[in-house]
Structure 1
Amino acid sequence: MPIDETIASYSDLAFKSAIVVYALVWIMLVWQFAVARTAPPRQLVTAGGGVDSDSVTPGRVIEEPKRPFAERLGAMGFSVLFVAVALHLLSIVLRGFATHRFPLGNMYEFTSMSCAAAVLIGLVLLREERYRGMWAFLLTPVLILLFLAGTVLHADAAPVVPALKSYWLPVHVTVVSIGSGVFLVSGVASLLFLYRLRQPAGSESSGIWGNLARRLPDAESLDRLAYRTTIIGFPIFGAGVILGAIWAEAAWGRFWGWDPKETVSFIAWVLYAAYLHARATSGWRDTKAAWINIAGFVAMLFNLFIINIVVSGLHSYAGLN
């Protein structure tokens, strides 16, 4: 069927609008993170733990203190984030309707889907206000990847190459893209965990870096978040690799051929398996495990960009002109 250029243009418009709204959300959340107080204001209390009765006029209604502007701005930014996600998902759905296929046929579409998965898993796991400061760091790689997707990696709406015309495309690539998005959250959590260790809770060190670190969740919470997300992403990504092997047998007559894409995917999977093992091993569960987790995420990025763009192989379906 011919490409619907009108719907394709709406898809591109929704994608660009999503980037603009994501950037607006990022600015608001960075503002909150940069200027928010690190501790709540003190209140005058009596020896019994209540409010000092001498400071209260009988019959007077005590109003709640007004929230600081930075906190209100951050709360508004988190609400606007749902608008950005809706526009992002709309761009993916419209791309599918425009091309009459599942919208995962090139690097532009894969990167967009992975970023959407990262933000959605973030909305599930980072909904508590104590994790609000993490959004400034999570949206940074999301914005960078979406910018690259909309510029360097962008491909016009078109049918997929004959090799991708298979029912395995939506199954295999969707699972892998979701797993990649989950690992993005995990990688950011481990990076912040290593940074937070330099400024443990209760540290009196001054300076901008110390103040910023204390606005993050404690190191234990960040480490636990990285572990939880990896537990979610590891079986998803592993299932994607297995499904890819099944598709390879149907398409090329073999389950595994050590193609560059297959090889680096396997290396990334092994690194994440090593992280989970190290996380449960005494003496490795802190910084060493976190570095292994970051190495796994670097392997994912290497697989996405270097393997698809630079290295020639059976999986060279980047869709770049």
Structure 2
Amino acid sequence: MPVNQTLATYSDMAYATSVVIYIAAMLLYFGEFAYGRARRAAPERESVLVGAGGGETTSKPAVGHVEEAPKRPLAERVGGMAVSMTVLGALVHLTSIVLRGLATGRAPWGNMYEFGSAICFAAVVAWTVVLFRQLRVGRRDATPSQLRGLGGFVMLPMIVLLFLSGTVLYAKAAPLQPALQSYWITIHVTAAVISSGALLFAGVASVLYLVRSRYENNPLKMAKVGSRLPTSQALDRLAYRTTVVTFPIWTFTIIAGAIWAEAAWGRFWGWDPKETCSFIAWVVYAAYLHARATSGWRGARAAWINIFGLAVMIFNLFFVNIVVAGLHSYAGLPGS
């Protein structure tokens, strides 16, 4: 199927636009994070009439008078704008992915540029779902401002990856390589995109957990950042629950990849660098879940295991796909 260059161009434009919107959202998140702490809503003003005898009586509003709602603090409004920009950026980002797929007539994750874009979209969706769910539940260990404050730290690695995908890893819209022309690319790679994006969010939560824990153990350390984050229990819960939900998807990713490998290369497993690194990541995350469920390994030890899992995922995404030669070398870069 020939590539529709017009749709491909619109896809690239939407991609660049989404990056700009994400950057604006990140700055707004950090704006609320930096200036929104320790400002409590002003107490409701009461009009008091002082009687001749010194007594106080609360005045009643005049008939027909409508009391104005207290004005939201500026930092809170900035945080709301950040969430709105995140949703807008995700919609524009989704448009870019869909247009890329329509332009090429295939699943829009056949090279590193497309795969990186899809992972970032999955991570942003995961963050947005977690944010709205936590705000709806209303946790005592994290205020809405503190929850939104995580957004800047989540968006930062997304923007870095999007920038690298759109520049260093960029590949023009083209048909799939023969080895990738299978319905398994929709099944296997879609599962990989969802799990990678969600685990990236979980890793960021574990990093912030260590920062908050250090502040709680010693308020003089990490005070400017740690004091504005949700409690360590809240961050630990976010990382753990995200990994619990995502781990079965990552397991399915490896199983689906093995089935595809048998159909494409005549064997289920061959210890290809990509296969090996994916299996190592699976073992690390299994160890994290086991450590998190074991009382003696909860806390910082489990968080470090989760962060190591994130490091393995990033290594697998960049180094193995780009540097190491193997059967999975489909980055779409010149010379690959």
**What's 1:264 paired with?**
277
Deviation at 1:317, TM superposition (A): 0.2
1:197 equivalent in structure 2: 213
Partner of 1:255: 268
Does residue 1:319 correspond to 2:335, yes or no?
A: no
2:33 matched residue in structure 1: 33
Give how far 1:199 is off: 1.6
Please, which of 299, 303, 310 is the counterpart of residue 316 of structure 2? 303
Q: Taking every aligned residue pair, what percent have the same amino acid on both sides?
A: 53
Deviations 1:110-149 (A, max 9, x none): 1111111111111111122241111010000000000001
**Cα contact 1:182–1:232 (8 A) shared by 2:** no
Query: Offset at 1:200?
Result: 2.1
What is the CA-CA distance between 1:284 and the residue it aligns to? 0.4
How far apart, CA to CA, are the structure 2 residues paired with 1:30 and 1:281?
Answer: 35
Give the CA RMSD over aligned residues.
1.9
Q: Which amino acid aligns with 1:83?
A: L
Residues 56, 199 of structure 1: CA spacing in aligned structure 2 closer, same or farther, 3 A cutoff? farther
Q: SS at 2:297's partner residue?
A: coil
Displacement of 1:211 = 3.1
How far does residue 283 in structure 1 lie from its aligned partner after superposition? 1.4
Secondary structure, aligned partner of 2:3: coil
Q: Does 1:221 align with 2:244?
A: no
- 2:154 aligned with 1:157, yes or no? no
Structure 1 segment 39-78 matched on structure 2, within 5 A? 40-41=40-41, 43=43, 54=56, 56-59=58-61, 63-78=68-83
Q: Which runs of 5+ in 1 are unaligned?
A: 46-50
Structure 2 CA distance, aligned partners of 1:20 and 1:44? 40
Counterpart amino acid of 2:108?
Answer: P
Q: Is the 8 A contact 1:117 1:182 kept in 2?
A: yes
Specify the alignment match of 2:107 in structure 1.
102
The superposition leaves residues 142-170 of structure 1 with CA deviations (integer Å, 9 ceiling, x where unpaired) of 00000001001110000111100111111
* Matching residue of 1:122: 127
Taking the aligned partners of 1:318 and 1:254, their CA distance within structure 2 comes to: 22
Contact 2:47 2:59 in 1 (8 A): no
In structure 1, the partner of 2:97 is: 92
Contact 1:3–1:99 at 8 Å: present in 2 too?
A: yes
Change (3 A) 1:214 1:58: same
User: In 1, Cα distance between the equivalents of 2:202 and 2:20?
Assistant: 25
1:42 to 1:237, Cα distance in 2 relative to 1, 3 A: same
Mapped to 2, the partners of 1:80 and 1:65 lie a distance apart of 24
The number of residues matched between the two structures is 313
Aligned twin of 1:242 = 255
* Separation of aligned partners in 2, 1:281 and 1:36: 37
- Paired with 2:38 and 2:226, the residues of 1 have a C-alpha distance of 10
